[in-house]
Structure 1
Amino acid sequence: MNLNATMLGQAISFVIFVWLCMKYVWPPLVTLLDERRDEIATGIKNTAAAAKELELARANGESIVAEAREKAQSIIELGQQRQNQLVEEAAELAQKEKAKIIAEGKAEVESEKSKVRQELKSEMADLVIESASKLIRKNLDSKSNHELVEHMISEM
């Protein structure tokens, strides 16, 4: 009977041990396992969501870069158009300035020509009067008159 009593004592001890484990050890372990399972599930969901967000961000980034390139290209084109316009305006302004300077030069040349003509006419008139007065003073023959005129012309 000893054997049976020992077995009965061991069975009772085992049942108490199982009851204590089920009451105090098993619930915190189950809670920890449930929390860990929930964390892993949340991590997997977050990873999938993060992967989707990363793909969207890449697509958005590529579209933003493409849009920025297009804007930069349009700005460059506008700059080139403005540069061409400025060059054309500068050439046109230079042409106008050139025409103005040429016109002023021509007017100045004409003015100088007129002034010189006037001076020449005045000098010629003085010379003609002087020649005529010399001719009148010396009432010479035609040969002497001719020599006197040639002499006056050579002095000019």
Structure 2
Amino acid sequence: MNINATLIAQVLVFVMFVLFTMKFVWPPIVKVLDARADKIAEGLAAAERGKNDFAQAEKRVADILAEGRSQVSEMVANAEKRAAQIVEDAKTQASEEAARIMAQAKADVEQEANRAREALRQQVADLVVKGAESILRSEVNPSRHADLLANLKQEL
């Protein structure tokens, strides 16, 4: 055989091989590569969406934490106000109770003082009546009268 005929035959076989490969082998390979490229693009897009979602979630968490902190500080402030109000109410009640107790004690003391005065008046009146009775029963004697008045003074 001739080199030229072999070369032409080899070129024809190569061209047929290339045509066969382009027709039957290459399209599935391209299809698989395109699918892989699409899958990689989808993965990158999903990663970007995940990154954005994560940033939004972090922002929402920060907002929720800030809101929670403000609510907690508001609750603490309200609790402190309520505690101060309770203490103030207790002080007011205690001072009112103390004033009532003091007024009652003063009234009791005054009542006891009045009873003591009445008892003392009664005793003085009894002593005066006894003294007058003693003077009137005894004879009229100045030294005797002086002794009786001295005794009355001691009894008073």
5+ residue gaps in structure 2? none
Q: Deviations over 1:44-103 (max 9, x none)?
A: 111222222222222222222222222212211111111221111111111111110010
Give me the identity figure in percent. 35
C-alpha distance in 1 between matches for 2:33 and 2:106: 106
Counterparts of 1:32 and 1:135, CA distance in 2: 149
* Cα deviation, residue 2, structure 1: 6.1
Structure-2 residue corresponding to 1:91: 91
| C-alpha displacement of 1:14 | 4.6
Structure 1 residues 5-51: Cα deviation after superposition (integer angstroms, max 9, x where no partner):
65566556555654554455433322221111111111111122222
Give, as a single letter, the amino acid of the residue that structure 2 aligns with 1:111.
Answer: Q
Task: Determine which structure has greater relative contact order: mean sequence separation of CA pairs < 8 Å that are 6+ residues apart, divided by chain length.
Answer: 2
- Which deviates more, 31-40 or 4-13? 4-13
Could you tell me the TM-score, scaled by structure 2's length?
0.83
Matched residue count: 156
Answer yes or no: is 1:149 the counterpart of 2:149.
yes
Report the counterpart of residue 121 of structure 1 in structure 2: 121
- Residue 115 of structure 1 deviates from its aligned partner by 0.8
Shift of 1:4: 5.8
User: If the length of structure 1 is used for normalisation, what is the TM-score?
Assistant: 0.83
Gaps of 5+ in 1: none
| Equivalent AA in structure 2 for residue 52 of structure 1 | N
* Cα-Cα RMSD: 2.2
Q: Distance in 2 between matches of 1:79 and 1:89?
A: 15
Q: Hey, which bits of structure 1, 4+ residues long, moved more than 4 A?
A: 2-24
Tell me what 1:56 maps to: 56
* Cα distance in 2, alignment partners of residues 139 and 39 from structure 1: 146
